[in-house]
Amino acid sequence: MNLGNPETARHSPAPRLTRAQARGLALEAGFAEAGAAPLPHGTDARDAERFVQWIEAGRAGSMHYLERRVEDGRLVRSRVSVPFPWARSVVVCFAPYHSQQPRSTDAAEPGRGWIARYAWSSRVDAAGVRRPSDYHKVLLKRIRALETRLHAEFGEFESRSYVDTGPVVERSLAVAAGLGWTGKNTCLIHPRLGSYGFLAVLVTSLALEDDATQLAVPDRCGSCRRCLDACPTGALTAPYQMDGTRCISYLTIEYKGAIAPELMEGTGRQVFGCDICQDVCPWNRKAPLSADAELEARPELVNPALEWLAQMDEAEFERVFNGSPVRRAGFAGLRRNVAIAMGNSRLARYAPWLSAWAGTADEELRTATRWALDKLQGS
């Protein structure tokens, strides 16, 4: 048997991943679009500095996991190389969730709340029953399938796959991978698919063959400032700048506590997350509807009646939202948000609900209900 020249084999170059290969395998795994970038990427230093400044300015609020540091003081999420010194490339995948349902900015019946579009996800099971689907689990399965395919192709190499849970800034990596630009609302905007999309990230120790190619998508926001003008809490303090502590998504999902009165006013009817800055974006008017069977909208979560949400006890909350992103707000958090939406509705029929909650021992709910009752009495 001819084994060839051992010296030649010893010095043969390691296999290198190509962007076309990464994208092709990602599409086979079920994603709508994908890109790849070398690490460190072209704007790595700039993006790291911006993240550090954002954290040090206190913009992360109570999201202390974003402030984690390594022993030498560097923020874990500032650069991919901090948690993963072996990383040489990243594959970023995009899964759209745009649907034909109305937007939060469209007219709705009085007494209707709003749950962020991304949290509507569902699928029909083998028995034909529609059930909640958590996009984290759906997309993690796909990104791990991509990871497995790459290991089959390249053998052993270091890799990590994440959907919203990893120590990386997904949006910056997506821009580096050529999936779009960062809009003035700080969301990734894909030139064809818009910003209604989930990102999944695969970090690898594979070198990227075409790593010298620049894939930057030009900023196409132009002079538009609809997102800044539409944000009711002033979270978009300037183009491309977000104060997370004023963002409705942060307040209704991440923040556990009593919300400041001026921010409760701005929260409006949002009970979980917020879509306003995306709903007014012209690029989402052009985006195609998603055909992803595992991320279809649950009709009952579109413009949900506040009464329906208010009457839930904790057991019902768990039943309705088991497997849904809405569970992240928690039962107490969702009830606080519903109370605020009731106050902003100015509908007197909610007074009995609010009066029943006003004496609760839960400070965040008590503060919200008393504020809401004052709103109803003053309307």
Mean pLDDT of 203-231: 90
Task: For residue 164, indicate whether it is catalytic.
Answer: yes
Greatest alpha-carbon span in the chain: 92
Mean pLDDT calculated for residue range 173-178: 97
> Which pLDDT value is given to residue 309?
98
pLDDT digits (tens, 9 = 90+) for 317-376: 999 999 899 999 999 999 999 999 999 999 999 999 999 999 887 899 999 999 999 999
Give me the pLDDT at residue 361, please.
Answer: 76
For residue 2, the model assigns a pLDDT of: 43
Would you kindly state where each structural domain of the chain is located, as residue ranges? 12-101+125-204
**Residue 221 predicted with pLDDT over 80:** yes
Q: How far apart are the first and last CA of the chain?
A: 91
**Is residue 286 packed enough to be buried (19+ CB in 10 Å), middle (13-18) or exposed (0-12)?**
exposed
Confidence band of 16 (pLDDT split at 50, 70, 90): confident
Average pLDDT, the chain: 93
Catalytic pick from 47, 72, 134, 164?
164
Q: Does residue 306 contact residue 338 with C-beta atoms inside 8 Å?
A: yes
What distance in Å separates the CA atoms of residue 344 and residue 263, rounded to the nearest whole number?
11
Residue pointed to by tokens 């849970």: 165
pLDDT for the residue 1:
40
